[in-house]
A = this chain, B = another copy of it.
């Protein structure tokens, strides 16, 4: 059906080898070059990457696995990763596992069957052994945002612990004593680290930790909403809330709006991720901002580096998140 290298060979009277050489950047005689170019144009030849991949054992494709395509943090990040990779001739298959480890496992399998040259994962935390096996097969794996215990592979993360300390310290310095935190799922490393920073600062300032003020959500808006409602209905409610991801931050604001409570006069809020939306919310929100482009670029760079030299030692890149103070913080009444 479609034009193949054979058709080009027939059309030009040259051999398969010559055509192949040429389309892979090799040199041919000037008159042959013209002839081949003409044939390619006339017959509308496009190389069959499946056949090529079969032969070369390279798909020039990187698999990307993220929790959800509705997660703007992930898709945003991956848009940079894709851009970087495409400069090096790699394309990308993005799979989302809808927060379901079973689906995550399936997608990992799928990508292996598709012979991806490397794998980028924002893991659920429940597929450690599957990922281990891939690493054993010498396929480059890069973890993003979250790390997995005891896993010997490249990763790009942010300084969750430190930035969380900084946020809490700032609140404490403003006089807050009852600070709530809304974390992600306990399995996820970022959630643990952000919580640990929170606890650390309580220890440093000899503040009592009220377990009721520590909430674990699922990183989605609705859970931010519900958990915030819980917090607001406590008889001794917090004077500040630290929300540790983007979607839950939205949920928290929704809950506060619905309760007719004012930020920051009634309650202080620190959110997460510097996405355009926070320019739109009044009062402007104090947030932890992650360096999206850097994250996305580094992820791609680590894959490419390992593809070029599989023997280099694994690296965990820790980038700096930034705490941006705006108008959503005040001193407690």
Residue of B nearest to A53 (CB): B50
Provided the pairs A54-B51, A70-B76 are in contact, do residues A254 and B280 lie with their beta carbons within 8 angstroms? yes
The answer to the question of A121 belonging to the interface, with a C-beta cut-off of 8 Å to chain B, is no
Q: Which of B49, B112, B257 contacts A115 (CB 8 A)?
A: B49
Q: Is the CB of A112 within 8 A of B277?
A: no
Residue of B nearest to A106 (CB): B86
Min Cβ gap A133→B in Å is: 8
Query: What residues of B have a CB within 8 angstroms of the CB of A12 in the complex?
Result: none
A78–B70 Cα distance when bound, in Å, is 9
A residues bordering B, Cβ < 8 Å? 1-2, 44, 46-51, 53-54, 57, 59, 68-70, 72, 75-76, 78-79, 82-83, 91-96, 98, 109-110, 112-115, 133, 137, 221, 247, 250, 253-254, 257, 276-277, 279-282
Q: Which of B51, B69, B250, B276 contacts A279 (CB 8 A)?
A: B250
Q: Is the CB of B250 within 8 A of A115?
A: no
Q: Which of B57, B69, B254 contacts A75 (CB 8 A)?
A: B69
A277–B250 Cα distance when bound, in Å, is 7
A151–B59 Cα distance when bound, in Å, is 33
Min Cβ gap A90→B in Å is: 11
Q: List 19 A-B contacts (CB under 8 A).
A: A46-B109, A47-B113, A48-B115, A49-B113, A49-B114, A51-B54, A68-B79, A69-B75, A69-B78, A69-B82, A70-B79, A72-B72, A72-B75, A83-B98, A92-B94, A250-B276, A250-B280, A281-B281, A282-B282
Q: Which of B93, B137, B281 contacts A91 (CB 8 A)?
A: B93
Residue of B nearest to A57 (CB): B1
Min Cβ gap A201→B in Å is: 28
Min Cβ gap A197→B in Å is: 26
